[in-house]
Amino acid sequence: MAKSSPAVPVVDQFTISSIKDGAYKQAVASDRMRSVAKFVLERSKGFPDSVEDEIKDQLYDGYRLRFNEVNKPEQYAIINDHYVLVNTPELAESREKINIGVDYAFSFTQQQFGKMKNENPYLHSIIKVWRDKVNNYCSNRLADLKRQARAIQNEGKTRERGATADFSKRVTDVLADLATKCKNAQARGDETADEKKFAVARTAFMTAWSK
């Protein structure tokens, strides 16, 4: 059985003519992302910390539309219950064929898709590739939107930085951490870790450092 994963976008009219043109298009995309994030923030009280099922469903519907635009369905010939990707003239003449893409892959409920694994494993394996790719794409786009929403929420806020520890305390903390790591390494059988030797070196260092 021949399988293939959704291809790299092949139907996308987005072109860049120069660095300047690319920068402009990047700025436009950023402005659009900001507008979408504000739109969702106004309609979803808990966003981005929580996403209501209805909001998520609508977002994923939109993300799938875009994925479908740039990842067109693939045609398969059904031969002896096997699904073979149509990539030759002979296969194109097969009597029984089916187009499998985003719409077809998500036309099944989760329960139907689960049952398919036993009832039609060949079709299930192909659809699984599509569903996994699409779900990962949607998840990444939602993460992008959440980051933009948080950026909007944090606008105008002064970031509070913790007080920087003085160097002397940092030295003490580092040596204490090394002592713990040395003990653990020795317990694992690391022959280069020697607690007693480290303790002597640590005392000698602190004696010299304190003068």
pLDDT at 149 > cutoff 90 = yes
Average of pLDDT values for 88-99?
88
132 and 42 in one domain? yes
pLDDT at 116 > cutoff 60 = yes
Residues with Cβ within 8 Å of residue 152, at least 6 apart in sequence:
34, 37, 38, 41
pLDDT (0 to 100) of residue 9? 44
Look at residue 130 and tell me if it is in a domain: yes
Is 0.95 surpassed by the pTM of this model? Answer: no
Look at residue 196 and tell me if it is in a domain: yes
Other beta carbons within 10 angstroms of residue 126's beta carbon come to: 24
Look at residue 55 and tell me if it is in a domain: yes
Kindly state the tokens that stand for 24: 């402009």
**Higher pLDDT, residue 55 or 5:** 55
Look at residue 1 and tell me if it is in a domain: no
- The residue length of the chain stands at 211
Average of pLDDT values for 11-34?
88
pLDDT (0 to 100) of residue 161? 62
177 and 142 in one domain? no
172 and 125 in one domain? no
pLDDT (0 to 100) of residue 11? 46
137 and 190 in one domain? no
48 and 139 in one domain? yes
What domain count does the chain have? 2
Range of the domain at 144: 19-153
